[in-house]
């Protein structure tokens, strides 16, 4: 009986250790998502400043170049707005999950963790660790930690989606500004 109790205690400690490690990992992904959005916001501001300086030095802007600039400024404004929105606090859980769960989900990857609710994530982790038969009861603290993992995973997932969308707008803007500068140089 003592051996079984020791094994269960060891399993619970191992389970908690893994859960805590996942929590820290998800928080690192969340910080990285924030940093990427901040860097893109800074890049957008720098591009607006730089391109405005370049075009203010040009006396006569061809009509096609004018339209490229107008569309470019519009796209970079949208990208900047998306970046700013990504910094708004998200204080409630989403009412939808990104995708359906599947057995091949990775319990360490935030985009997969975001698919689960807290209890299902705990069961999923227990299964991945080979504890699904032994680990069927979870402490309130484990449930709270799991809720935080899932919530932070959802937030990180949203931030990465917004970053991707904003980055596409920024890339399109770069192409348009380069075309505009090329047109100005070609017309001279």
Does 54 or 97 have the greater pLDDT score? Answer: 54
Full 3-state SS string of 68-99: HHHHHHHHHHHHHHHHHHHCCCCCCCCCCCCC
pLDDT digits (tens, 9 = 90+) for 62-84: 888 889 999 999 999 999 999 99
Tell me the residue length of the chain.
188
Tokens of 88: 């708004």
Q: For the whole prediction, is pTM greater than 0.75?
A: yes
- Name 124's Cβ contacts closer than 8 Å, sequence gap at least 6: 101, 105, 107, 116
Q: Is the dihedral of CA 44, 158, 143, 92 positive or negative?
A: positive
State in Å, rounded, how far the first CA of the chain is from the last one. 90
H/E stretch holding 20: helix 2-56
Tens of pLDDT, residues 156-171: 999 999 999 999 999 9
Spell out the long-range contacts of 52-57 with Cβ–Cβ below 8 A and sequence spacing 24 or more: 54/181, 55/180
Secondary structure letter of residue 7 according to DSSP: H
For the cut 70, the answer to whether the pLDDT of residue 6 exceeds it is yes
Q: What is the pLDDT of residues 10-60, one digit of tens each?
A: 888 888 899 999 999 999 999 999 999 999 999 999 999 999 998 888 888
Task: State the pLDDT confidence band at 85, using cuts at 50, 70 and 90.
Answer: very high
Q: State residue 124's pLDDT score.
A: 93
């Amino acid at each position: 009986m003592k051996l079984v109790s020791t094994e269960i205690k060891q399993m619970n400690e191992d389970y908690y250790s893994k859960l805590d490690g996942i929590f820290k990992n998800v928080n690192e992904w969340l910080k990285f998502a924030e940093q990427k959005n901040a860097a893109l916001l800074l890049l957008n501001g720098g591009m607006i400043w730089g391109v405005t300086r370049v075009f203010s030095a040009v006396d006569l802007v061809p009509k096609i170049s004018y339209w490229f600039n107008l569309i470019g400024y519009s796209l970079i404004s949208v990208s900047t707005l998306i970046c700013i929105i990504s910094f708004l606090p998200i204080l409630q859980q989403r009412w939808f999950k990104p995708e359906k769960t599947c057995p091949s989900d990775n319990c360490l990857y935030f985009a997969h963790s975001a698919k689960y609710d807290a209890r299902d994530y705990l069961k999923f982790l227990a299964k991945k660790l080979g504890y699904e038969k032994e680990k069927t009861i979870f402490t309130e603290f484990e449930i709270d930690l799991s809720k935080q993992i899932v919530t932070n995973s959802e937030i990180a997932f949203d931030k990465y989606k917004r970053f991707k969308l904003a980055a596409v707008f920024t890339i399109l803007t770069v192409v348009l500004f380069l075309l505009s500068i090329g047109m100005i140089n070609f017309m001279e």
